[in-house]
């Protein structure tokens, strides 16, 4: 199924994707948390727990500073919040899976596609230790649990229907606007990073990183001003 999704992405005209990974035991050259963004096949932003900064990875992203001088400061603050959220939930998943140690990963891959004929699509999915954990179904606006341990999360997140609907509209609209504006930076072929890919500088022979696919509930807080406690988005 994952490779089918990858092929579908490559067939689109443009794609915007983000990958988040938290690692329980970081090593040399392997941060405890990293997030990267891609437009088509080009990485354009990156944040990791070593640098503690959201940084551009392609020259044309510097243009945003002219429109918003505080852009990188704001994005850095958001990314630092994401880092804390992922690290906390990674620990919570240990308890849910009755684990006490070892290398574990909590991941998100999300994005949207804009086809040449104007059609839009989106994906939003979490993974744990290289396996699907839970995914958002944009047709039913509910969550699909891939493992028994994710059923608890599904029961907590499904009732947030209004937020799901608002997120979906804003997410797809934002993705379309961004892809149209930054299309000059992409190849136009929509190839993108394939499933299982990861910046080579952050991989080592002992790592178990396998990027499965997805945005986190922290985005709901950023976009809609809700606290995690009020909408119950933490994994426990």
In this predicted structure, which of 1-10, 120-129, 176-185 has the lowest mean pLDDT? 1-10
Residue 144 phi/psi, 5° resolution?
A: -115, 115
Residue with tokens 């852009």: 71
Residue 217 phi/psi, 5° resolution?
A: -55, -20
Residues 6 or more apart whose CB falls under 8 angstroms from that of 64 comprise 71
The larger pLDDT score, comparing residue 163 to residue 220, is at 163
Rg (CA), the chain: 17
CA-closest candidate to residue 90, choices 125, 124, 36, 128: 128
Ordered structural domains, the chain, with CATH: 2-231 (3.30.500.10)
Residues 6 or more apart whose CB falls under 8 angstroms from that of 21 comprise 33, 34, 35, 105, 106, 107, 108, 198, 209, 211
Residue with tokens 């891939």: 146
Residues above pLDDT 70, as percent of the chain: 63
Report d(CA 175, CA 17) in Å as an integer: 9
Answer yes or no: is pLDDT of 204 > 90: no
């Amino acid at each position: 199924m994952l490779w089918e999704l990858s092929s579908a992405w490559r067939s689109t005209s443009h794609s915007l994707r983000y990958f988040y990974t938290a690692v329980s035991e970081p090593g040399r050259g392997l941060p405890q948390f990293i997030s990267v963004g891609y437009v088509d096949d080009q990485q354009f932003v990156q944040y990791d727990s070593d640098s503690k900064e959201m940084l551009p990875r392609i020259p044309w992203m510097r243009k945003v500073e002219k429109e918003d001088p505080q852009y990188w400061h704001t994005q850095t603050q958001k990314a630092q919040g994401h880092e804390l959220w992922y690290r906390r939930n990674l620990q919570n998943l240990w308890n849910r899976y009755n684990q006490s140690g070892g290398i574990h990963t909590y991941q998100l891959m999300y994005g949207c596609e804009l086809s040449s004929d104007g059609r839009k699509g989106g994906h939003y999915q979490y993974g744990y230790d290289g396996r699907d954990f839970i995914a958002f179904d944009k047709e039913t606006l509910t969550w699909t649990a891939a493992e028994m341990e994710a059923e608890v999360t599904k029961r907590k997140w499904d009732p947030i229907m209004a937020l799901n609907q608002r997120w979906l509209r804003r997410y797809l609209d934002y993705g379309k606007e961004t892809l149209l504006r930054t299309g000059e930076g992409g190849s136009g072929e929509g190839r993108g990073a394939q499933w299982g890919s990861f910046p080579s500088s952050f991989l080592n022979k002992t790592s178990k990183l396998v990027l499965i696919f997805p945005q986190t509930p922290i985005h709901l807080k950023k976009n809609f001003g809700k606290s995690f406690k009020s909408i119950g988005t933490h994994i426990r």
